[in-house]
A and B are shown apart, each in its own frame.
Chain A
Amino acid sequence: MTALPLVRQHLIDPEICIRCNTCEETCPTGAITHDRRNYVVKHELCNECGDCLPPCPTGAIDSWRRVEAPFPIDQQLVWDSLPADAAPPAPVDGASEVPDDVLRLSEIASAAEGGRVPPPWSAAHPYVGLYSLEKPAIATVAGVHRLTAEDAESDIRHIVLDFGKTAMPVLEGQSIGVVPPGVDPETGKPHHVRLYSVASPRNGERPGHNNLALTVKRVVVDRDGKPTRGVASSYLCDLQKGDKVTVTGPYGSTFLMPNHPGAKLLMICTGTGAAPMRAMTERRRRRMGLGEGGEIMLFFGARRPEELPYFGPLMKLPKELIRVELAFSRVPGKPKEYVQDRIRASADAVRAMLTSDDTFVFVCGHKKMEEGVLAALGDVCKDGGTSFADLKDRMRREGRLHIETY
């Protein structure tokens, strides 16, 4: 049994909307209408095609709520502001909804460049939100292993969690939530849930075992470069074998790998953004004997080889499985190189991949890389005489371009 499903409803934020009418003008299904006060969406007519999103000058159109029953337009017409999300229903038999914290984090991660895309058509069906904050799963630490050199600036760890007899079905590209113990001293409330991408394939870090791996970087500076101590990352990096960890999830229903024979993967990542790429690569490595084909190309950036998680194992991967292009930005005596530089240097191969309808692009890493990567892909296309803008839109529509940045 699963929880009562909440309905996802497309709404317009009356506090931000300036009533310019472009959404109503654009909507192909006539789902948007207005009165003298508000612009509103008829839930029964909206097919979530997203045509109204780019023309909106304010972003008011990009508002979504999970509701038990959709708001009819006569209610929407008198709003001054959007209502809060409906509270998630009580978990039934272990199943629950996705917590607000998680939704917020995933929304931030996929916010840039237009938001949601569908999953690849051949992705497996994901389980989402089996474990909630109210009813979490408890995992046991099976091992913690430092991935970066001892003298490296960043401390990135490979953490294996075992779920024993508790079901935790995860797909490559999905994440789980980790709740650090204790309370936030500033608010006196329990810590927020943190999301981590799973770095292992669906049948376990050790094949056939009910375990999974995470790639966690110890946070020691904040976004502004000021020293800080990441609550969850420190907690995870300092775990010892046998410790118990409170886990929610799994989460994510779009950033998933395609499964059909011949599916090609173009993966671009930095730092711990490598986690989902490792999961997908490992899935494919384990199935190499099946001869399903489909190239894999990986662009991976870090400051130095010593800072690059999984550097050693990556170097040992068979050339017929994957082409690896590494970019290092802080190697003494060498010019700075970023993933976008490697993409441009490999233009022919990248272009060949982009022109195939079987290619699925995954980008994961720091928010700042996204723009550079898209610009590089744009240049690669332009040199080949195609428009990346068109291609990008088509790939997004077809669930072939997935971006998760944070």
Chain B
Amino acid sequence: MSIDYASRIPNNVGLDQNKQLQRALEHWQPKYIDWWRDVGPDNSSGYDVYLRTAVSVDPKGWAEFGYVKMPDYRWGIFLTPQEEGRLVNFGSNKGRPAWNEVPGELRSTLRRIIVTQGDTEPASVEQQRHLGQTCPSLYDLRNLYQVNVEEGRHLWAMVYLLHAYFGRDGREEGEALLERRSGDADKPRILGAFNEKTPDWLSFFMFTFLTDRDGKYQLAALAESGFDPLARSCKFMLTEEAHHLFVGESGIARILQRTCDVMKELKSDDPAKVRAAGAIDIPTIQRYLNFHFSVTLDLYGSEISSNAATFYSMGLKGRFDETKIGDDHVLTNAEYPLLDLVGDALVEKHANALQTLNERLRDDYIADCQAGVDRWNKIMEKAGVPARLKLAHKAFHRKIGTFAGAHVSPEGKVVSEAEWTHRSKEWLPSNDDHAFVQALMGRVAEPGKFASYIAPPPRGINNQPQDFEYVRFN
């Protein structure tokens, strides 16, 4: 199979001059397309989708809009431009020139980091593959597909690094990324949240708001890496990740808007009445938020982590906004506060800052989520609806770390097992909630029309009008 790589794969890595890399990608590309057709968006190969394609890394070049059939999407390989004289900015290698080749002693650690990040990208495409059948509008369907192709591009970005810098091992890892499957009992995806189902659009918006935000924080930490190609890849991926966060945040915002409108029409906050009117009641939205938030918090790993300390000390994975933090960037003698569970009480203690980097990234993430929730609450405030959404306590419903298995309410109170069993259906989506949300998921695919539970967006994509035909089914 011969492909004109220069035009088929927009890139700024000199792909046409690197025969070895070309051959590796030539081998991988058909398998990727097979994967896309097998477990990518359902029955979508023939659709023309109004997508944004990145064709270069400068501000003007990475938002080219036009109709594309998704298997023909030009998945490109982009690194932000190299910064002359960039240094390793943290850890024990701080002050040395950033690496442009993988240092031998860091090879397996670095490969593991890249594979773990890379694995999440195809996983989310698999998780979301059936959502197209129940889209609430053409606008949302297009946004789903945009998220999907960009997750695909992020996989390309990681596979490029594996192929370009890790030889045969890297090529094998590249293939394994296409072989694991989200939710598969025998060969699951690496991280737990990426094996959960995304059965409906409320879950999808929560996922893109919460779990893609984990992606943002992981990418931001890797964008600080002393391994320059990884840093530059992740930096570019962050610009695309922003769109995914937007889809989630605005999706929930539009659902809340619709719910508030319905509550005002009905002059009632009775969840049963809101549901009967085809909107989603706020308590249900809160339970979905609790679930996705807690599952995503687990993605940051244990509070105390020697792996995280190693990654940092080696200069491979930094903190969020590392270079903007005013400390020694070595952290050997610094401390960081964290919560511990002592008997029935949550108590703050201090631990070595190097060992608690996961916790620190999780805290940065929580603050960012809180800002988003505050913006959602403004919708209720504006509508005169007294209800507010709240982020659950970080000890709530955790499976990993100090709080794994502990019974903690969303308010952060340790409760008995009996109380947990009794009240958890107030806190987490019940089967009844899932069934109700599922029942709302009819397909709305007429230009300008929206499902009963979601308001239209305030602005179209690329300033297009509301009734724009974002997807043509042909």
Which residues on A are within 8 Å of B, measured CB to CB?
15-16, 18-22, 25-26, 36-37, 50-55, 57-59, 80, 111-115, 367, 375, 378, 387, 389-390, 393
Contact = CB atoms under 8 A, between A and B. Distances in A.
Given A55-B62, A112-B463, A36 B238 contact: no
Of the four ranges (under 10, 10 to 19, 20 to 34, 35 or more), the interface on chain B belongs to 20 to 34
Nearest to B463: A111
A350 to B, nearest CB: 18
Nearest to A224: B467
A-side interface mostly: loop
Given A25-B239, A113-B462, A393-B60, A375 B66 contact: yes
Contacts of A21: 238, 242
A115 B463 CA distance: 9
B420 to A, nearest CB: 33
Contacts, number: 76
17 contacts: A18-B246, A18-B372, A21-B238, A22-B239, A25-B239, A36-B367, A51-B59, A54-B60, A55-B242, A57-B242, A57-B246, A58-B459, A59-B459, A80-B378, A375-B67, A387-B55, A393-B61
B378 A20 contact: no
B464 interface: yes
Contacts of B242: 18, 20-22, 55, 57
A47 to B, nearest CB: 13
Given A112-B462, A389-B55, A55 B63 contact: yes
Nearest to B242: A20
A207 B243 CA distance: 54
Q: Dominant SS at the B interface?
A: helix
B34 interface: no
Given A20-B245, A59-B459, A378-B66, A36 B61 contact: no
B246 A36 contact: no
Which of A18, A25, A80 has most chain B Cβ within 10 Å?
Answer: A18
A41 B238 CA distance: 21
Contacts of A378: 66
Contacts of B368: 19
B276 interface: no
A80 B246 CA distance: 18
Contacts of B60: 51, 54, 393
B386 interface: no
B328 interface: no
Given A36-B371, A57-B242, A112-B464, A18 B59 contact: no
Given A18-B249, A25-B239, A51-B59, 16 more contacts: A15-B375, A16-B458, A18-B246, A20-B245, A21-B242, A22-B239, A22-B242, A55-B59, A55-B62, A57-B245, A58-B250, A80-B378, A113-B462, A113-B463, A389-B55, A390-B61
Interface string B54-72: 0100011111101100000
A113 B62 CA distance: 14
A18 B463 contact: no
Closest 8 CB pairs of A and B: A20-B242, A54-B63, A57-B246, A51-B59, A57-B243, A393-B60, A59-B459, A111-B463
Nearest to B367: A36
A25 B235 CA distance: 9
Contacts of B81: none
B465 interface: yes
